[in-house]
Structure 1
Amino acid sequence: MRILLFTGKGGVGKSTVAAATAALAAETGRRTLVLSTDAAHSLADAYGVTAGGEPEQVAPGLHVHQVDAQRRFEESWADIQGYLLSVLEVAGVDPVAAEELTVVPGAEEILALLELRLHARSGEWDAVVVDCAPTAETLRLLALPEALGWYMTRVFPVERRVVRALKPVLSRAAGIPMPDDDVFSAVQRLHAELDEVRELLTGPDAGVRLVLTPEQVVLAEARRSFTTLSLFGYRVDGVVANRVFPADAADPWRAGWVAAQTAVLAQVEESFAGLPLWCSEYRPAEPVGLSELRDVARGLYGDADPLAVPAGPEPLRITATAGGAVLSLRLPFVGREDVDLARDGDDLVVTVSSYRRLLTLPSSLARHRLAGARVEGGELQVRFTDAAHG
């Protein structure tokens, strides 16, 4: 099953591009679901239909799903929220304010990813196209499963044992209820589901497409997104340049835009060399409805398969060497001075700008010594040597 995520700076038209790609995929005979993790939920508007909390058919083989976040929230967060509400009640917080405080920021996007997991397991679809939230929210969301995984393996077991052993004492001393096994089980279940989502989204059949408009500020954000997605192991398999002015501009004002966009597009090609670049012309009217969206997709992909998996390097790979191994992590647009690298036990801590990845080393590397690192050709290359080889 092919999974495609579309993200980009707010306002670049990613929902339109996602909807168009899904419409063309369904027309080629694939059972296609297009799913929104964006709280704005623009997908139904793009198709010109009304969508509810379940997948709605908008054309043969094409369904759109705008997730019912409230329902999924109650299913996945109820036990945890119930405990937090009991704590806030003891603290004297107003019940209405307490309910607001116990809603996790970004919960709607998180729950939409859990919905993606259910659809992937159902076997009903050949392709799932995901219209993601704007870039910053998407990056935080995609970093969550691994961050939660570190907590679950390092802290959670100890915390659970301590609370179980000292619950009567802690309850009396603190005067607030301690979490019971239902709460811990709910956290464990949420982690397992998010971990499964991460496996899906970093698998060989999944990819992220960055949508941008030919503007310097937008390009700068797309470059940072490429770096950060690669840092967390997500494959960027193409870039869509949207709202490109046609070259035959008659009036000076539009000719100025054409010249400016042409210059930025040259930088886009240079920045994302090796990745497919699809361009969509600025249309005289907003594309709404199946017919218009299919036209957009045909303009983008031509006769090519809109769901094709491009060839390219894996975001993370390990290569055996004489007496050790090299771990290569794709980090485009990054120099040695931008990377901070440390080892903490079996974890490799990689920091790029404000993002940090705790990369748990496979057992084949965990017993090796960190021998050195360099950044070359858009990759962080970390050398490990077997202790026996010094």
Structure 2
Amino acid sequence: MSLILTFLGKGGVGKTTTAIAVARAFAAQNKQVLYVGQQAGDSLSIRLGVDLNSDPQSVAPNFSAVHLKSTVLLERYWDKMKGLETQYLRSPFFKEVYGQELGILPGMDAALGLSFLRERDAEGKYDVIIYDGVGDLETLRMLGMPEILGWYLRRFKQVLTGSAIGQAISPFVEPILRSILQVSSTDDISQQAGEMSSVLTRGQKAVNDPSHVAAYLVTTGDPYAIATAKYLWGSAQQVGLTVGGIFAREAIPEEEFAPLAIFSIPDQVSELIIPDRLDARLAPKPIEINTATKQVKLFLPSFNKKQVKLIQLGPEVTIEAGDQRRNIFLPSELAGKQATGAKFQDSYLIISFG
């Protein structure tokens, strides 16, 4: 299992520079590191001095990097899906549709990036994988995708299996989703949904595990940079991603991000050393569910009660904060119980159930 890290912050604060320095510092500790870039242009290749493509290239001892291109990934995953379709179906439906023909739909970049990370993590080849995405909110939505898609599968399963329109659109929607998630194709829609749900559940557990996936904020002392970092901190919590600490290029008051640890970035960033406290498990968890006290606690720093909306529908609770929504599927002990109260206390939203 790899440690997957990403860095968030206002544009221009040095996120990529810091991420590369952290990658090199891990490599200097004899850890195998993969740097995954998905931003536009060739800036990453110029920074690293290596002509990068969609396959990992060696940059330095223990340090490899890759620059993802969605067209290449979609073509590869589509061909894999067609291979599975040929294996499982007597009359493959999409054998005459070629990956080279497919255009990139909105949201595909994130889904393809997530699938690539999942593959590299499953290989067990790398100790640390650092992801540098196209933008911070896009990165958060990418990492929140397993939870969000899981919700859509639960909600729309009946539509796909029971309605005429669901049956009409499923041949076109499901192959693309299967090709990205890389699950087998069968003629049983219920089985397809179950297999995809299993993949998404594993992805959600990985994102929710700070020993597996974590984010770190990068900021300067500029008030706008601090405000952006705080907003991204709260937004990361909303997708279940733990923020483990702050990398600061200038001195900032500790109370700005309490209780997170603040790590100083040296003037010569190449001299950065991995701090002993760089452990996201020491940071507050995004969510805690206590069935004994019948409470759900969500850590929502940088938000106040006026910025949070709570909706309960059936066994799920939806929390809206900032530009993120999180659907919490309640455990059986709390499913069916109505929320009786909610309060803010020390940056926590505490929801009580009757």
TM-score w.r.t. the length of structure 1 is: 0.73
Counterpart residue number, 1:279: 264
In 1: Cα distance, 2:42 partner to 2:316 partner = 38
Alignment map for 1:187-198 (pairs within 5 Å): 187-188=177-178, 190=180, 192=196, 196-198=202-204
- Measure, in 2, the Cα distance between the counterparts of 1:315 and 1:210: 15
SS at structure 1 position matched to 2:149: helix
Change (3 A) 1:306 1:68: farther
Write 1 or 2 for the structure with the bigger share of helix: 1
Counterpart check, 1:355 vs 2:318: no
Letter in 2 for 1:213: T
For residue 366 of structure 1, give the secondary structure of its aligned residue in structure 2: coil
- Name which of structure 1's ranges 228-237 and 63-72 shifts more when overlaid on structure 2: 63-72
CA deviations over 1:182-225 (Å, ceiling 9, x no partner): 74244256463555443322213121011122211111111111
Q: Which amino acid aligns with 2:69?
A: D
Conserved in 2, the CA contact under 8 Å of 1:72 and 1:111?
yes
Amino acid at match of 2:350: Q
| Residues 202 and 320 of structure 1: CA distance in aligned 2, closer, same or farther (over 3 Å) | closer
Provide the secondary structure at the position in 2 that maps to 1:363.
Answer: coil
Among residues 270, 283, 291, which one is paired with 1:294 in the alignment? 270
How far did 1:328 drift? 0.6
Structure 1 unmatched ranges of 5 or more = 81-98, 168-177, 245-261, 284-292, 386-390
CA distance in 1, matches of 2:338, 2:348: 20
Aligned residue identity for 2:228:
E
1:165-184 matches, within 5 Å, as 178-179=168-169, 181=171, 183-184=173-174
Q: Would the alpha carbon gap of residues 358 and 310 (structure 1) be closer, same or farther in structure 2, given more than 3 Å must change?
A: closer
- In the alignment, residue 57 of structure 2 is paired with which amino acid? E
Q: Label 1:320 to 1:313 Cα distance change in 2 as closer, same or farther (>3 A).
A: same
Letter in 2 for 1:223: K
SS in 1 for 2:334: helix
* Amino acid in structure 2 at the alignment position of 1:187: L
Compared with structure 1, are the counterparts of its residues 305 and 239 closer, same or farther at alpha carbon in structure 2 (3 Å cutoff)? same
TM-score normalised by the chain length of structure 2: 0.80
Residue 205 of structure 2 corresponds to residue 199 of structure 1: yes
Task: Look up the equivalent residue of 1:360 and give its one-letter code.
Answer: F
Over aligned residue pairs, what C-alpha RMSD do you find?
A: 2.7
Give secondary structure in 1 for the equivalent of 2:5.
strand
Asked if 2 retains the 8 angstrom alpha-carbon contact of 1:36 and 1:112, the reply is no
- Listed as ranges, the matches of 1:325-340 within 5 Å are 325-340=294-309
Matches within 5 A, 1:65-80: 65-76=66-77
1:301-339 superposed Cα distances (whole Å, 9 cap, x missing partner): 4xx348544513221111243xx5111111112222222
**Larger deviation, residues 117-126 vs 187-196:** 187-196
Deviation for aligned residue 1:38: 2.6
1:122 shift after superposition: 0.2
> Paired residue for 2:286?
315
- 1:143/1:40 CA distance change after superposition, 3 Å: farther
User: Could you tell me how far 1:160 is from its partner in structure 2?
Assistant: 4.1
Pick closer, same or farther for the CA change 1:332–1:367 going to 2, 3 Å: same
Which structure 2 segments of 5+ residues have no match?
A: 83-100, 182-195
Q: Is the radius of gyration larger for structure 1 or structure 2?
A: 1
Amino acid at match of 2:270: R
For residues 1-390 of structure 1, the aligned pairs below 5 Å read 1-40=2-41, 42-76=43-77, 103-163=104-164, 178-179=168-169, 181=171, 183-188=173-178, 190=180, 192=196, 196-205=202-211, 206-242=213-249, 244=250, 265-266=252-253, 269-282=254-267, 294-295=270-271, 297-298=272-273, 301=274, 304-305=275-276, 308-321=279-292, 324-385=293-354
SS for the counterpart of 1:223 is helix
Conserved? CA contact 1:119–1:125, under 8 Å: yes
Letter of the 1:361 partner, please give it: L
- In the alignment, residue 305 of structure 2 is paired with which amino acid? R
**Residue identity (%):** 28
AA in 2 matched with 1:294: S
CA gap of 1:229–1:180, structure 2 versus 1, over 3 A, is closer
After TM superposition, what 4+ stretches of structure 1 lie above 6 angstroms from structure 2?
Answer: none
